[in-house]
């Protein structure tokens, strides 16, 4: 049984005292202010002088801001979360220049998550008690699960959601045991009616968490729309709406964690299809259901859990016709057209009757095994008229191990 040391965040809920809540709220506001001012300064420097300024320059600006009369209150909170906000901004620009993300956006007081990150110099963790800088008492944390034995948190992130719940996340080193998988590989076809269909023939029903609470959410939103702008009643109604959203998100995340953990532990190779949800949600008829399915969250969970447990995640190219390709060995017939309402189809070449989703999962498994074995492209040749590329160039854009950011069109 192999052991692997990984960085892992342990998230807990806590209940601050009045003084702690006030201190953290001030810190959240200062973090947001520093982030926005630094972003504005970097944007202005580029558009006015074509000058790129980095973390060191913004850190010097922060020192100057603290000495001004209008921003002297920045010195009243811990300096570590403010410096971390500048580092996060630098990371955002690095992702932007590398083409991995959009241009950093300003943080909103109402829409952005209120959070602050503390490094080891700004907190003390002893005997199961966590005390943050500028505080005299430890946080009242509900330890719903133990930290790893002898764990020493490297960073602590405190956050507050829209409902008003307080959370603390401790980043620690943890040892993960990777045992041999019972199965060699599984193809996973994502869907809406069935959240996933496995190449084993199993279909996992989509819980549709948003649809289950849709009536409750609609009532809360109608009540919010009737409240006077800026009133206390509107604030309470907004919290009720946020509470419904939090209930949906928590249940969805819990279900996805259990599903992805099971898939990774039971299979050595997990094969999924490259789905670009951003493009797919443009379909107004399916946008709500696709968002509720949270395919992007499921993929991200599979990615880091596969890395933890020593498994292999293979992401097949979006143009691979997994649904229309006959999965019978030796057949290889590609059906010309298969509308979404056709759930079962018969191969005209071999006469096999296919369940649409199971057939796709089987094809994904076969494609993933081919990539895992030799890294070869797996998509059949397509007509140049469809893509504008020659057949040889199309074959070069097959399944990938790390996945491509592109939409799925079937």
Q: What are 80-110's pLDDT values in tens digits?
A: 999 999 999 999 999 999 999 999 999 998 8
Of 161, 144, 160, nearest to 244 by C-alpha is 161
pLDDT tens for each residue of 333-359: 998 888 888 889 899 888 899 999 999
Q: Judge whether 273 counts as a catalytic residue.
A: yes
Of 292, 303, 317, 357, the catalytic one is: 357
Say if residue 403's pLDDT is above 70. no
Handedness of CA 64, 69, 75, 80 (dihedral sign): negative
Residue 189 falls in the annotated catalytic set: yes
pLDDT at 161: 94
Residue of 23, 117, 189, 408 marked catalytic: 189
Query: Choosing from 117, 210, 273, 408, which is the catalytic residue?
Result: 273
Is-contact 24 16, C-beta < 8 A? yes
pLDDT band at 178 (very low <50, low <70, confident <90, very high): confident
Q: Which pLDDT belongs to residue 306? A: 94
pLDDT of 280 reads 87
Whether 396 shows a pLDDT value over 60: the answer reads no
Burial 178-189 (b: 16+ CB within 10 A, else e): eeebeeebbbbb
When computed from its CA atoms, the radius of gyration of the chain, rounded to whole angstroms, is 25
pTM to 2 decimals?
A: 0.84
Are 297 and 257 in contact, with CB atoms under 8 Å apart?
A: no
In the annotation, is 357 catalytic?
yes
């Amino acid at each position: 049984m192999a052991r692997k040391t990984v960085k892992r965040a342990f998230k807990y809920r806590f209940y601050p005292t009045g003084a702690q809540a006030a201190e953290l709220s001030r810190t959240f506001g200062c973090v947001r202010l520093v982030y926005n001012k630094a972003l504005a300064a970097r944007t202005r420097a580029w558009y006015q002088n074509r000058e790129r300024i980095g973390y060191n320059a913004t850190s010097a600006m922060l020192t100057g801001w603290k000495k001004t009369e209008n921003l002297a209150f920045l010195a009243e909170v811990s300096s570590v979360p403010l410096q971390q906000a500048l580092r996060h901004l630098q990371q955002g620009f690095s992702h932007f220049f590398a083409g991995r993300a959009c241009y950093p956006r300003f943080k909103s007081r109402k829409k952005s998550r209120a959070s602050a990150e503390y490094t080891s110099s700004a907190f003390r963790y002893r005997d199961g008690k966590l005390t943050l800088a500028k505080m005299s008492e430890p946080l009242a944390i509900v330890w719903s699960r133990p930290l790893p034995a002898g764990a020493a948190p490297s960073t602590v992130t405190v956050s507050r959601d829209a409902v008003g719940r307080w959370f603390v996340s401790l980043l620690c080193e943890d040892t993960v045991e990777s045992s041999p998988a019972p199965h060699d590989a599984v193809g996973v076809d994502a869907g809406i009616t069935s959240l996933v269909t496995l190449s084993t023939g199993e279909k996992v029903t989509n819980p549709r968490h948003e649809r289950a609470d849709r009536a409750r959410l609609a009532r809360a939103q109608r009540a919010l729309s009737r409240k006077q702008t800026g009133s206390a009643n509107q604030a309470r109604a907004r919290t009720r709406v946020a509470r419904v959203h939090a209930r949906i998100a928590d249940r969805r995340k819990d279900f996805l964690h259990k599903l992805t953990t099971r898939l990774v532990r039971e299979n050595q190779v997990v094969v999924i299809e490259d789905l670009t949800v951003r493009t797919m949600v443009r379909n107004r008829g399916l946008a709500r259901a696709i968002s509720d399915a949270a395919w992007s969250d499921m993929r991200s969970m599979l990615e880091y859990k596969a890395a933890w447990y020593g498994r292999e995640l293979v992401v097949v190219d979006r143009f691979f016709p997994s649904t229309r390709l006959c999965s019978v060995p030796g057949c290889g017939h590609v059906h010309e057209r298969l509308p979404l309402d056709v759930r079962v189809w018969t191969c005209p070449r071999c006469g096999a009757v296919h369940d649409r989703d199971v057939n796709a999962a089987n094809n994904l498994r076969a494609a993933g095994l081919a990539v895992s074995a030799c890294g070869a492209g797996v998509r059949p040749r397509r007509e140049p008229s469809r893509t504008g590329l020659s057949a040889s160039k199309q074959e070069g854009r097959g399944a990938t191990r790390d996945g491509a950011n592109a939409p799925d069109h079937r």
